[in-house]
């Protein structure tokens, strides 16, 4: 048990934040979190329902673009560990809102690092980096790893590269403990329904229940390395338990196409996907990222991390969630 440790999670009410807070509370942490206000109040903490009583007084409105709010929360909770999970995290939307994405996902990280440097420089910091930073660069063996050159193909990926580099810069310049977790796609029933995995699962279940006639998607040929968010938040924690900061790829090492995803989900529901799935160019990105597949050998060797979910068991859990939702 880590009874005396305090953690601060930015973006605590997102998919990853909600699983991470559950994980840390079980380990005996005191957990604080930042939430960005939105106009639909009842949706702001819905992912935290299981643990909300344990977070009373510890959830604070803050924004990565507002340095003052970050200094205030860090001074208040004096965290031992800080997990920066807040961002504008939707790649397609980053093309519609490139400047905001750069400010929130890129410069926002710099704001947080400055707040930490000024108020709690001995805190261990985890930065949520992304496989989107690699763009279409792939090593000769078909994998992306810590040494693969970064060449992003979206405003989101560009903002994440800035965050990754500024974290390395602050670590080297100020001796701060800052580690990047380069996470590949990770999903769950708590994933936003504008992300393709949950969009497909929810859409297929609604079709099965007669609530929807068809499902419109973008590029069915793109391949991704999909894991479960529960496995990946454990990796975040393990990364901060090491004696020295470092950068780690976190992935399953197995890739599937969007069409593979569609075929599996529809077949589990005894539906012929070709009868229901349409494609529309409006869901394509101006520049497509074709293939992602990560090599997390370094993470596994140093931390003994290994994923418990497979692609199939992850999707099975998501299907069950939506079937129960639409009973």
- Is there a catalytic annotation at residue 179? no
**Catalytic residue (one of 131, 132, 154, 179):** 132
The residue among 123, 109, 41 whose CA lies nearest residue 78 is: 123
Residue 134 has which token pair? 């690699």
Residues 6+ apart with CB under 8 A from 276: 204, 207, 213, 214, 215, 266
CB distance 232 to 294 below 8 Å: no
Q: How far apart are CA 140 and CA 154, in angstroms?
A: 23
Q: Cα–Cα distances in Å, from 235 out to 115, 123, 130?
A: 25, 18, 14
- Is there a catalytic annotation at residue 156? yes
Question: Which residues in 262-298 are b (16+ Cβ under 10 Å) and which e?
Answer: bbbbbebbebebeebbeeeeeeebeeebebbbbbbeb
The residue among 315, 216, 212, 206 whose CA lies nearest residue 261 is: 315
**Catalytic residue (one of 126, 156, 170, 309):** 156
Residue whose entry in the numeric block shows the structure tokens 């710099």: 110
- Is there a catalytic annotation at residue 132? yes
Q: Cα–Cα distances in Å, from 27 out to 1, 30, 45, 296?
A: 5, 9, 21, 25
**Catalytic residue (one of 18, 130, 154, 163):** 130
Output phi, psi for 107, to 5 deg: -65, -30
Residue 194 has which token pair? 């504008």
CB distance 164 to 170 below 8 Å: no
CB distance 104 to 88 below 8 Å: yes
Residue whose entry in the numeric block shows the structure tokens 């859409």: 203
Torsion angle, alpha carbons of 267, 271, 274, 277, to 10: -100
Catalytic residues: 130, 132, 156
């Amino acid at each position: 048990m880590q009874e005396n440790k305090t953690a601060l999670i930015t973006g605590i009410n997102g998919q990853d934040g909600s699983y991470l807070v559950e994980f840390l509370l079980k380990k005996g942490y005191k957990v604080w979190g930042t939430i960005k206000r939105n106009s639909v109040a009842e949706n702001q903490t819905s992912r935290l329902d299981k643990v909300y009583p344990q977070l009373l007084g510890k959830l604070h409105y803050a924004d990565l673009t507002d340095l003052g709010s970050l200094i205030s929360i860090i001074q208040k909770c004096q965290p031992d560990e800080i997990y920066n999970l807040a961002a504008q995290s939707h790649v397609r939307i980053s093309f519609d809102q490139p400047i905001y994405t750069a400010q929130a996902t890129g410069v926002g990280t710099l704001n947080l690092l400055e707040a930490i440097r000024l108020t709690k420089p001995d805190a261990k910091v985890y930065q949520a980096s992304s496989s989107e930073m690699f763009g279409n660069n792939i090593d000769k063996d078909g994998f992306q790893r810590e040494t693969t050159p970064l060449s992003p193909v979206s405003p989101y990926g560009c903002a994440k590269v800035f965050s990754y580099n500024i974290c390395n810069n602050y670590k080297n310049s100020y001796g701060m403990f800052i580690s990047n977790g380069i996470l590949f796609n990770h999903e769950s029933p708590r994933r936003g329904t504008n992300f393709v995995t949950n969009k497909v699962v929810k859409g297929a279940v609604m079709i099965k229940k007669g609530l929807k006639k068809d499902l419109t998607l973008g590029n069915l040929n793109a391949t991704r390395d999909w894991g479960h968010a529960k496995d990946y938040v454990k990796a975040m924690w393990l990364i901060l338990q090491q004696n020295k900061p470092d950068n780690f790829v976190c992935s399953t090492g197995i890739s599937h196409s969007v069409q593979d995803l569609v075929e599996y989900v529809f077949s589990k529901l005894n539906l012929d996907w070709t009868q229901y799935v349409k494609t529309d160019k409006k869901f394509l990105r101006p520049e497509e990222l074709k293939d992602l597949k990560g090599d997390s050998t370094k993470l596994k060797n140093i931390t003994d991390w290994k994923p418990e979910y497979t692609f199939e068991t992850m999707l099975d859990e998501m299907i069950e969630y939506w079937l129960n939702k639409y009973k």
